[in-house]
């Protein structure tokens, strides 16, 4: 099924923006080891910004509400968002805060480790929700993540529910004390990977059957629709009508940094276009798979023609 433009409300993103400092290495350093990077660079990141760009790259109308510091990195972030088709008009410059930073290390196999400095993202509060509320409309898709304060996230989720919006929550990173129980009821859908699923349910999924059991556990916590991402092993989706599994796409991965965020951006685009959960999950999985074939975070987001070409060449 192709994604087409419509007169529906824009896809809304409420969340984090970072500047990514990336380094590529042959292997990850062990404690006490110093390595020379093969190369390095700066790029736009943060799960909110990445998901906003991923949706915009597919032609979606996107509004992104978040915060940067009032520093040169904020200028870098605003320029990068514009370049990728996302207007930075709804980003607030937070005086006295540092723009968020992420230090990303990627090995020769495409795996990564990430250390995040929240900065201005952790100052997001009720005043930012007040800027989100006028954008909300019944049926609007809203993407959120866990790189902002949990009290703010919970209040924003309530605002989405009150407006009749559809919240897709990426529970990453899962807070140290777990995810607030109310969020399972407020979200229409969550998209945890293996590690996040284990943190939420105590079950570590590794194949379709174990992912199905984990999805059932998520439903038991109050979640209506669940997508359990297994990385290179595929994706399971589940709701009240049943469950299904999307096998992995055959691609040549070099960097998994953006895979999860591009998945969610693609999922928002597909659901906004009216796809059912099965078709939307497959579309999103293709989006995430393509993101692993290029380096970077926001820069790795594929376009709609690229996604549809992969779907056509590897039919489900």
Ligand-binding site membership of 18 (annotated): yes
Omega of the bond leading into 173 within 30 degrees of 0 (cis): yes
Ligand-binding site membership of 154 (annotated): no
Residues known to be catalytic = 261
Ligand-binding site membership of 8 (annotated): no
- Residue spans of beta strands (DSSP E) within 182-303: 189-190, 225-229, 235-239, 242-246
d(CA 48, CA 122): 13
Ligand-binding site membership of 261 (annotated): yes
Instruction: Count CB atoms within 10 A of the CB of residue 205.
Output: 25
Structure tokens, 26: 């042959």
Would you say 221 and 266 are in contact if contact means Cβ atoms under 8 Å apart? no
Would you say 49 and 20 are in contact if contact means Cβ atoms under 8 Å apart? no
Ligand-binding site membership of 260 (annotated): yes
Ligand-binding site membership of 22 (annotated): no
Contacts of 187 (CB under 8 A, 6+ apart): 157, 167, 168, 169, 223, 224
What angle, rounded to 10 degrees, do the helices at 208-220 and 194-201 form?
40
**Helices (H) then strands (E): counts for the chain:** 10, 13
Ligand-binding site membership of 166 (annotated): no
Ligand-binding site membership of 159 (annotated): no
Ligand-binding site membership of 294 (annotated): yes
Ligand-binding site membership of 147 (annotated): yes
Ligand-binding site membership of 20 (annotated): yes
d(CA 182, CA 195): 21
Ligand-binding site membership of 231 (annotated): yes
Would you say 48 and 13 are in contact if contact means Cβ atoms under 8 Å apart? yes
Ligand-binding site membership of 257 (annotated): yes
Ligand-binding site membership of 4 (annotated): no
d(CA 102, CA 64): 19
Ligand-binding site membership of 264 (annotated): no
Ligand-binding site membership of 47 (annotated): yes
Ligand-binding site membership of 170 (annotated): no
Would you say 278 and 239 are in contact if contact means Cβ atoms under 8 Å apart? no
d(CA 313, CA 316): 10
Any idea what the Cα angle at residue 100 is, between residues 97 and 101, rounded to 5°?
A: 130
The binding site for K(+) consists of 255, 257, 291, 294, 296
The binding site for substrate consists of 18-20, 46-50, 147, 261
The binding site for ATP consists of 193, 229-234, 260-261
The binding site consists of 18-20, 46-50, 147, 193, 229-234, 255, 257, 260-261, 291, 294, 296
């Amino acid at each position: 099924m192709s994604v087409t433009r419509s007169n529906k409300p824009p896809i809304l993103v409420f969340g984090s923006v970072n500047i990514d400092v990336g380094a590529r290495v042959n292997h990850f350093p062990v404690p006490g080891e110093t390595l020379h990077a093969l190369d390095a660079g700066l790029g736009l990141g943060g799960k909110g910004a990445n998901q906003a760009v991923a949706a915009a790259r597919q032609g979606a109308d996107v509004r992104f509400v978040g915060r940067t510091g009032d520093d040169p990195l904020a200028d870098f972030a605003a320029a990068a968002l514009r370049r990728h088709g996302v207007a930075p008009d709804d980003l607030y410059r937070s005086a006295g805060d540092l723009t968020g930073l992420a230090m990303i290390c990627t090995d020769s196999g495409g795996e990564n480790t990430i250390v995040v400095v929240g900065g201005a993202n952790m100052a997001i509060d009720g005043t930012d929700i007040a800027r989100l509320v006028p954008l909300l409309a019944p049926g609007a898709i809203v993407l959120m993540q866990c790189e902002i304060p949990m009290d703010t996230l919970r209040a924003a989720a309530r605002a989405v529910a009150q407006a009749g919006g559809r919240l897709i929550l990426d529970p990453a990173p899962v807070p140290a004390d777990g995810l607030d129980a109310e969020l399972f009821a407020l979200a229409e859908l969550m998209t945890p990977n293996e590690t996040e699923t284990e943190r939420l349910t105590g079950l570590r999924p590794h194949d379709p059957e174990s992912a199905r059991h984990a999805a059932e556990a998520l439903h038991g916590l109050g979640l209506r629709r669940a997508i359990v991402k297994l990385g290179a092993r595929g994706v399971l989706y589940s709701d009240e009508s049943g469950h299904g599994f999307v096998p992995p796409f055959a691609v040549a991965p070099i960097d998994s940094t953006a895979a999860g965020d591009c998945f969610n951006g693609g999922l928002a685009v597909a659901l906004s276009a009216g796809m059912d959960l099965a078709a939307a999950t497959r579309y999103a999985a293709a989006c995430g798979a393509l993101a692993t074939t290029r380096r970077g975070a926001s820069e790795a987001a594929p376009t709609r023609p690229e996604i549809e070409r992969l779907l056509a060449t590897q039919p489900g």
